[in-house]
Each structure stands twice: as structure tokens, then as C-alpha cells.
Chain A
Amino acid sequence: MGKILESLPLTIVAGIVLTVIMIIATEAIYDSQMSAPERAVSDMMNNM
């Protein structure tokens, strides 16, 4: 980790990777919070 942080470009790349992980985690949390009818509507909207 220290090697990454010593390099500014690698620090930025690590920040972008963390952003992608955060977006995936956010989607997963929202999905887990959906009730069955909400999930059905969401799936229908995604398939339109």
C-alpha cells in the first residue's frame, strides 16, 4: 500500500478503483433493500 501511495498516478488509479467498488456495493445494498414487487418493477424497467 505504501508503494501505491508514494506514487501520485497510482494513488489516483486506486481512487478510481475504490469508486467502482463503491458503486457496485451501493447497487448491491439497494438491491438487497428492494421488496419483491419493487424488484419486479425494477426488472421490467431494465428490460424495456
Chain B
Amino acid sequence: MEMELFLIRYLHVISGIMWIGLLWYFNFVQIPSMPKIPDEQKPAIGKVIAPEALFWFRWGAFFTVFFGLALAWRSGYLVEALMLEQPNIGFGMWLGLIMAFNVWFVIWPNQKIALGIVEADADAKPAAARKAMLFSRTNTMLSIPMLASMISVQNPIM
């Protein structure tokens, strides 16, 4: 049981670093740098780096939630946390679930349009790129309390 919980927690943390690391890469590095990149070099980001980063980003989100829920279930606090009877971890779980929903059902569908991975009108691309950016920023904002909640389980501040 101890080894099982260790492995699930380890995979949860590794997936989480993949997910939040790429989220912060997009928001702290890629988005602010795009206006400074010459137009002829932009396809290197749009056609090569962004699609690859988005692959690891969305699957990082999926497996963070998957192993996080598995950890809570195997540790016996899944329902109590989701009902906010254990609010320190419960708030973090809900924020993580909202963020993962945003990744899979808002950011990724809109990025597919913005990057030309799926067919769309030329007018739809800027709107999709803006929507993806705003939801990515929303996730950056939510990641700050989410991480505080996650570490408060080991180091209680609340």
C-alpha cells in the first residue's frame, strides 16, 4: 500500500510538473515573445513548437487529474475532499478539475483552430487564439491557489 501510494503520488507530481511547467512556459515565455519574433520565423513556433508543447500540455493535464483522483481514492479522502469536508486539499482538487476542463474543452479546441490544425474561416483564427489565450491566463491565475492548496496538505498553513 505504501509503495502503491508513493508511485501514484510520484506519477501525479511528474504529470503535474509537465502540465503546469508548460502552462507557465506558454504564459511567461511564448505568448509575451510572439510580438518580438519576425513574421518569417513565426511558423517555427506555430507549426512546430506549439503543437508539440500542446500535446504534452493536454496529456500532462489528463494524467495529473487521473493520478490525483487515484491518489485521493486510494488514500480514502476523495469524497470528503470533493465535498470540501477537507477543504485544504478539496479547493485544490476543484481548481485542478476546472483547469483540466479548460485545457481539454476550451484551450485545445481553440488552439486547433488558431494553429490551423483543423479547417476554419480566416476570421475564426484570431478569435480562437484570443479565447485560448484568455483561458490559458485563467489557468495561470488558478494555478497559484491550486498549488498553495496542494502543498498545504504537507505543510499546513490553513
Using CB atoms and an 8 Å cutoff, list the residues of chain A in contact with chain B. Answer: 2, 5-6, 8, 11-12, 14-16, 18-19, 21-23, 25-27, 29-30, 33
Using CB atoms and an 8 Å cutoff, list the residues of chain B in contact with chain A. Answer: 27-28, 32, 84-85, 87-88, 91, 134, 137-138, 140-145, 148-149, 152, 157-158
Also in contact, A6 and B137, with CB within 8 A (given A22-B148, A26-B91, A29-B84): yes
Also in contact, A18 and B158, with CB within 8 A (given A25-B91, A33-B85): no
Also in contact, A5 and B138, with CB within 8 A (given A22-B149, A29-B84, A33-B85): yes
What's the nearest-Cβ distance from chain A to residue B127, in Å?
13
**Smallest Cβ-Cβ distance to B92: which chain A residue:** A22
Compute how far the CA of A15 lies from the CA of B82 in the bound complex, rounded to whole angstroms: 21
Compute how far the CA of A12 lies from the CA of B85 in the bound complex, rounded to whole angstroms: 28
Q: Which of A6, A11, A22 contacts B91 (CB 8 A)?
A: A22
What's the nearest-Cβ distance from chain B to residue A17, in Å?
9
**Smallest Cβ-Cβ distance to A7: which chain B residue:** B137
- List, in ascending order, chain B residues with CB within 8 A of A30's CB: 87, 158
Compute how far the CA of A47 lies from the CA of B52 in the bound complex, rounded to whole angstroms: 55
Q: Which of A5, A16, A23 contacts B158 (CB 8 A)?
A: A23
Q: Which of B28, B91, B158 contacts A8 (CB 8 A)?
A: B28
- List, in ascending order, chain A residues with CB within 8 A of B138's CB: 5
Also in contact, A19 and B144, with CB within 8 A (given A8-B28, A26-B91, A29-B87): yes
Q: Which of A6, A15, A26, A27 contacts B143 (CB 8 A)?
A: A15
A-B complex: 7 closest residue pairs judged by Cβ atoms: A15-B144, A5-B137, A26-B158, A19-B145, A29-B87, A15-B141, A26-B87
A-B contacts besides A19-B148, A21-B145, 20 pairs, CB < 8 Å: A2-B134, A5-B134, A5-B137, A5-B138, A5-B141, A6-B137, A8-B28, A11-B27, A15-B141, A15-B144, A16-B144, A18-B145, A22-B158, A23-B148, A23-B157, A23-B158, A26-B87, A26-B91, A26-B152, A29-B84
